[in-house]
Amino acid sequence: MSVGFLLIHARPQRAWSAILSWFLFAAGLAAYLWVAQARHRENPEDRVTPTLAQMATGMYNAVMQPAEEDEAAPPAANFYDRLSHSMLWRDTRATSRRFLLSLALLIPAVLLGLHMGLFPYVGVFFLRFVLFFDKIVALSLLPILFIAFGIDELSKIMLIVIGVTPTIILDSFNLTRGVPPEQIVKAFTLGAGDFDVAYRVVLKQVAPRVLNSIRLNLKAVMLFLFAGEMIASTDGLAYRIALLRRHMGMDVIIPYVLWVALLLFLVDFAMRTVNRKLHPWFHEA
Amino acid sequence: MLIHIEDVFVAYGSPPRAVLAGINLEIEEGEFVCVLGQTGCGKSTLLRLILGSEHPMRGRILVDGREHHQPDRTRGYVPQKYSLFPDKTVLDNITFGCEVSEFGLFARLTPAFYRRRKQLRAEAFDYLQRIGLRSCDAKKYPDQLSGGMQQRVAIAQALMTKPRILLMDEAFSALDPGTRRGMQQLVRDLWKATGTTILFVTHNTDEALRLGTRVIVLAKESVDQGSRIAMDLSVPAPCGDEEIPSLVRRLELVSESCAL
Amino acid sequence: MLWRFSTLLLLAASAFAQKPSFTVGWSVYAGWTPYHYMNKSGILRKWADKYGITIKVQRFDYAPSLDAFVARNIDACTMTNMEALDMPAASGVPTTAILIGDYSNGNDALLVRNGLQLKDLPGKKMLLVEKTVSEYLFDRAMTLGGLREQIKRVRMINTSDSDIATAFIGDANASAVVTWKPMVSQIAKQKGVTSLFNSSQIPGEILDLTVVRTDVLSRPDGAGQKFAKALAGAWFETLAQMSTPGAAGDKVLAAIAEGSQDSLASYKEQLGTTKMFYTPKEAAGFGASPELKQKMALVRQFCFDHGLLGANTKSVDDVAIRYPDGSIQGKPDRVRLVYDLGYMQLAAQGKL
Ligand SMILES: Nc1ncnc2c1ncn2[C@@H]1O[C@H](COP(=O)(O)OP(=O)(O)OP(=O)(O)O)[C@@H](O)[C@H]1O
Ligand SMILES: [Mg+2]
């Protein structure tokens, strides 16, 4: 502790690591509470920084009360009934559905990148266009999306597709290009055909890296999804945040934001675990 | 005549710089040809030409009387690096060639495939023993093996599909002298047992003389000219230890004097 | 924390400059764009100098302007009567309306496709910015049409105002849309789109105000009062210029329209459906009329029913309003929104 403290060769003890790694969380929470308390002393009706108790009630209502646009659940309903009619559950379900659908749409993107990297004609056909498309700021295309795809689910999914798929396509294209040519030649000398090479050799090799690249893009997917939901929607987590924002319902917004962060973390964690289980040979650099 | 190379010319870059110029070469079935030459003289290029992954700008290359436009089963390949598929176990790497050439993408779902795979695995275990690996290595992934073991598996993998020609590019250059000696013995034995024609690229003159029945030296006559075959030497059948030093000196002299 | 810091900074700066400084925020809307001209033409500067203060003008998008006001980053702001109630007032920031600029007299409208009627709307898709005057307008339309029970059955889709025009035009499945000008004009140009209801049928219910934080007005050094007076003076001078008939007035209107990148013709069209109170007399007169109380009663009930006053507000009376005659709607100890005609009256008497 004395010699190497704060230097590259420092070896923090376990206890210190634990304390230090949680320190900023604690500091953030304390700062928030302090500000919230100060503001509430000055203005007991302040809505910008709700206290923990207010957030707890806000969240309790979000979890246990039926959503405003839902039919009121019978008063005697049990816990699960009430949960399934609640704001939080409905919003989470709607957003997750869109989220998973967009993730599924990334699979063709990966395959396109793979083919572009392997088959020269596919490459020249798409590459320039995808490179161009990658630079388009998808949000600015919204009016066109609305006209082309309506304002329902499709336009929201398309927003994500336009916003995220070029990155994924280019990423899997580059990863495919990164496979040593020796491997491809070798596969051919062993009697593999073009599609064996594409799917059994190259795709299997780039799969873990592609999964990682999708993991890095999860936030972008969520960002576009939120933008779509905030602009036109009837349900979803971002829809609720947009609505509550209009009258500063921070007591629900803050827990909602934390909930979204937790969900994203869980998705990321699940993908990492799957990646590790599926590709035991792969070691992250 | 198994391989027939006729007045081949290759250049790279712009403006084009000749790498190989006026290469003429005939290789008979069953020969063990070692290719020597200084770095950058085009040895790997020559192998790639025979593989068919690259094409000459002039001249032609016939393998078994035919021009080939892409690599296929008749020519096996053991590159210096990246020879094994990192996502497959040792066993799967060895059986990969047979599986993939006998079963299409969807035929793998049939029971016939699983029956055949059983046989192939038995065969692969045979190879494992011959190249001196233990059966517990079969379940390992390539990056869990040492460099020497990896090259052995790569050779087994290439031999499983029984190619008529085996092309090896500096396959042993990353190995220590002891392992190297063992590997040379292994290749020599396998060559004798299978009768495969082998083209073996190496930097090591001594190794070339010990292994090959024939040694070819590629060298440039001047800086801006492509390499040509500067020497083509038939190695006397049992190359005795006492002849080797003088031959080595002779070969290295050729290789160096041309490079000036 | 930020606002505290910024007020501190402001205080420090003003102590240094010996001149109290105030900021007024506005957003693009026919009745508020005059602020752009007021600032650019030097009218505001003139009035600020007269009272020995500095006034800064800042343009916002509508929602952020409300946030900035609630967070006390700005001292005065333009907003509707409904937002004055559900944003600052309901967030415990006591607010005083010092200027009644206009009321929407057709600016907000409910438009439908294929000649639908109000009674056809249940079950149909409708685009609007929920929890705003748009929803209020729709609520009123259905109530006046005797269809109050059916409101919940209309499928409302919350659509951002910046995209609502293209969203409605692009989606043939959306049967109805509630929005305001200039989007209304764009949408109304489409074939087969008709207007079912507009704000001229509920005159005086959607008011456009300039509000100041009550604690700014009651600053001990009296600078807040000066600020309100300067604003009122500058405002009515601008409006007088605007309403000059002929070319001189058009020139002013064109300069105002520029503030929202609009054309003179389009701006005039919007003014046609906006009942501007051009003179302080008119404005104060409207503020003093008993109508104001009735209309605010409708608005505050709507806000309460839709939870806009906050989840913790148990009764509609918890956010009370005080009127110029001294009467109070709601609990007397919970007055949060005040209509103060004083500044408009001073302007009317020429005493500013
Ligand atoms: N794709 C390419 N593009 C441009 N130049 C190339 C390409 N491939 C090879 N070369 C050039 O051709 C020459 C011969 O390359 P090659 O790899 O055949 O050499 P080598 O004899 O195998 O050398 P080493 O012993 O170092 O492996 C080198 O100068 C190299 O720079
Ligand atoms: Mg080489």
Q: Which ligand sits closest to the CA of B79?
A: 2
Distance CA B202, CA B194 (A): 22
Tokens 């403290």 sit on residue: A5
From-to residues of CATH 3.40.190.10 in chain C: 20-104+206-348, 108-201
Segment among B2-6, B51-55, B143-147, B233-237 with least mean pLDDT: B233-237
Over 90: is that where the pLDDT of C235 sits? yes
Nearest to A195 among B51, B96, B105 (CB): B105
User: Under the phi-then-psi rule, with left for phi > 0, alpha for psi from -120 to 50, and beta for the rest, what region is C194?
Assistant: beta
Over 90: is that where the pLDDT of A152 sits? no
CB pair distance less than 8 Å for C93 and A43: yes
Q: A with B: how many residue pairs have Cβ under 8 Å apart? A: 85
Q: In terms of pLDDT, which residue wins out, A178 or C71?
A: A178
Does the pTM exceed 0.80?
A: yes
CB pair distance less than 8 Å for A234 and C157: yes
Residue C260 has a pLDDT of 83
Residues of A with CB under 8 A from a CB of B: 180-183, 185-193, 195-196, 199-201, 204-205, 207, 279-283
A-chain CB neighbours of C311 within 8 Å are 57-58, 61, 249, 251-252
Segment among A75-84, B141-150, C58-67 with least mean pLDDT: A75-84
% of residues, chain B, pLDDT over 90: 45
CB pair distance less than 8 Å for C311 and A232: no
Over 50: is that where the pLDDT of A208 sits? yes
Residue B237 has a pLDDT of 65
Q: Own/partner pairs for C167-170, CB < 8 Å, 24+ apart?
A: C167/A146, C167/A151, C167/A231, C167/A232, C167/C127, C168/C111, C168/C127, C169/A147, C170/A143, C170/A146, C170/A147, C170/A148, C170/A150, C170/A151
CB pair distance less than 8 Å for C310 and A249: yes
pLDDT band at B152 (very low <50, low <70, confident <90, very high): confident
CB pair distance less than 8 Å for A234 and C158: yes
Q: How far is the CA of B170 from the centre of ligand 2 (A)?
A: 7
Over 90: is that where the pLDDT of A69 sits? no
Residue C138 has a pLDDT of 96
Tokens 């005609």 sit on residue: C341
**What would the mean pLDDT of C159-166 be, rounded to a whole number?**
87
Residue C13 has a pLDDT of 55
Q: How far is CA C258 from the centre of its chain?
A: 20
CB pair distance less than 8 Å for C307 and A143: no
Residue A1 has a pLDDT of 47
Residue A235 has a pLDDT of 87
Over 70: is that where the pLDDT of B116 sits? yes
Residue C7 has a pLDDT of 59
Q: Which ligand sits closest to the CA of B14?
A: 1
Q: Which ligand sits closest to the CA of B169?
A: 2
SS3 B176: coil
Please check whether residue C155 touches A, CB under 8 A. yes
**What would the mean pLDDT of B43-47 be, rounded to a whole number?**
93
Using alpha carbons only, what angle is made at residue C309 by residues C305 and C315, rounded to the nearest 5 degrees?
A: 65
Residue C12 has a pLDDT of 55
Q: How far is the CA of B242 from the centre of ligand 2 (A)?
A: 30
Q: b vs e for A56-95, b when ≥16 Cβ sit within 10 Å of the residue's Cβ?
A: ebbbebbeebbbeeeeebeeeeeeeebeebbbbbbbbebb
Distance CA C226, CA C73 (A): 19
The residue of chain A nearest to residue B139, with distances taken between CA atoms, is: A281
Q: Which of C80, C82, C158, C318 to mutate against chain A (most A CBs within 10 Å)?
A: C158
Which residues, other chains included, contact C216 with Cβ-Cβ below 8 Å and sequence gap of 6+? Answer: C22, C75, C76, C224, C227
Pick the CATH number of C20-104+206-348 from 3.40.190.10, 3.30.365.10, 2.40.30.10, 3.40.50.12280: 3.40.190.10
Nearest to B141 among A191, A192, A281 (CB): A281
Residue A151 has a pLDDT of 77
Neighbours of C169 (CB within 10 A): 18
List chains adjacent to chain C, taking adjacency as at least 3 C-beta pairs closer than 8 Å: A
Please check whether residue A178 is in contact with residue A161, taking contact to mean a CB–CB distance below 8 angstroms.
Answer: no
Please check whether residue B139 touches A, CB under 8 A. no
A-chain CB neighbours of B160 within 8 Å are 190
Distance CA A147, CA A144 (A): 5
The residue of chain A nearest to residue C151, with distances taken between CA atoms, is: A69
Residue B227 beta carbon below 6 angstroms from any ligand 1 atom: no
CATH code for C108-201? 3.40.190.10
Residue nearest to atom 16 of ligand 1 (CA): B42
Nearest to A247 among C131, C158, C171 (CB): C131
Starting from the edge strand earliest in sequence, which strands make up the sheet with B17-27, in order? B58-63, B3-12, B17-27, B227-234, B214-220, B32-37, B197-201, B165-169, B75-78
List chains adjacent to chain A, taking adjacency as at least 3 C-beta pairs closer than 8 Å: B, C
pLDDT band at C352 (very low <50, low <70, confident <90, very high): confident
Highest mean pLDDT among B191-195, B216-220, C15-19, C295-299: C295-299
B-chain CB neighbours of A281 within 8 Å are 86-88, 141-143
Please check whether residue C233 is in contact with residue C50, taking contact to mean a CB–CB distance below 8 angstroms.
Answer: yes
Paired with C213 in beta bridges are: C95
Q: Which of A175, A182, A184, A186 to mutate against chain B (most B CBs within 10 Å)?
A: A186
% of residues, chain C, pLDDT over 90: 74
Give start and end residues of each alpha helix (H) in chain B. 43-51, 90-102, 111-130, 147-160, 177-194, 205-211, 244-259
Q: What tokens does C51 get?
A: 């009272």
Using alpha carbons only, what angle is made at residue B173 by residues B243 and B25, rounded to the nearest 5 degrees?
A: 65
Residue C238 has a pLDDT of 96
Pocket test for ligand 1, best of B14, B20, B34, B45 (most atoms within 8 A of CB): B45
Distance CA C210, CA B112 (A): 83
pLDDT band at C8 (very low <50, low <70, confident <90, very high): low
Over 90: is that where the pLDDT of A66 sits? no
Model confidence over C37-60: pLDDT tens digits? 999 999 999 999 999 999 999 988
Mean pLDDT over each residue of chain A, to the nearest integer: 88
Model confidence over B74-90: pLDDT tens digits? 999 999 888 899 999 99
Model confidence over A71-116: pLDDT tens digits? 555 566 677 877 778 888 989 999 999 999 999 999 999 999 999 9
User: Under the phi-then-psi rule, with left for phi > 0, alpha for psi from -120 to 50, and beta for the rest, what region is C289?
Assistant: beta
Distance CA C65, CA C208 (A): 14
3-state helix, strand, coil split of chain A in percent (to 5) is: 75, 0, 20
Distance CA B251, CA A194 (A): 42
Please check whether residue B109 touches A, CB under 8 A. no
Domains of chain B with CATH codes: 1-74+164-260 (3.40.50.300), 83-162 (no CATH)
Over 50: is that where the pLDDT of A62 sits? yes
Please check whether residue B101 is in contact with residue B161, taking contact to mean a CB–CB distance below 8 angstroms.
Answer: yes
Residue B258 has a pLDDT of 60
Residue B29 has a pLDDT of 92
DSSP states along C208-245: EEEEEEHHHHT-TTSHHHHHHHHHHHHHHHHHHHHT--
Model confidence over C79-96: pLDDT tens digits? 999 999 999 998 889 999
Over 70: is that where the pLDDT of C289 sits? yes
Angle between helices A87-118 and A237-246 (to 10 degrees): 130
Residue nearest to atom 28 of ligand 1 (CA): B40
Over 60: is that where the pLDDT of A37 sits? yes
Model confidence over A242-278: pLDDT tens digits? 888 777 788 888 999 999 999 999 999 999 999 999 9
Q: How far is the CA of B198 from the centre of ligand 2 (A)?
A: 16
Nearest to C86 among A35, A45, A247 (CB): A247
Residue C48 has a pLDDT of 95
Q: What tokens does A56 get?
A: 């707890």
Q: How far is the CA of B217 from the centre of ligand 1 (A)?
A: 16
Residue A54 has a pLDDT of 87
Q: How far is the CA of B202 from the centre of ligand 2 (A)?
A: 9
Among B171, B256, B198, CA closest to B34: B198
Residue B219 beta carbon below 6 angstroms from any ligand 1 atom: no
Paired with B5 in beta bridges are: B25, B61
**What would the mean pLDDT of B164-179 be, rounded to a whole number?**
87
Residue B40 beta carbon below 6 angstroms from any ligand 1 atom: yes
Over 80: is that where the pLDDT of B259 sits? no
CB pair distance less than 8 Å for B72 and A189: yes
Q: What tokens does B120 get?
A: 């192939």
Mean pLDDT over each residue of chain C, to the nearest integer: 91
Please check whether residue A247 is in contact with residue C86, taking contact to mean a CB–CB distance below 8 angstroms.
Answer: yes
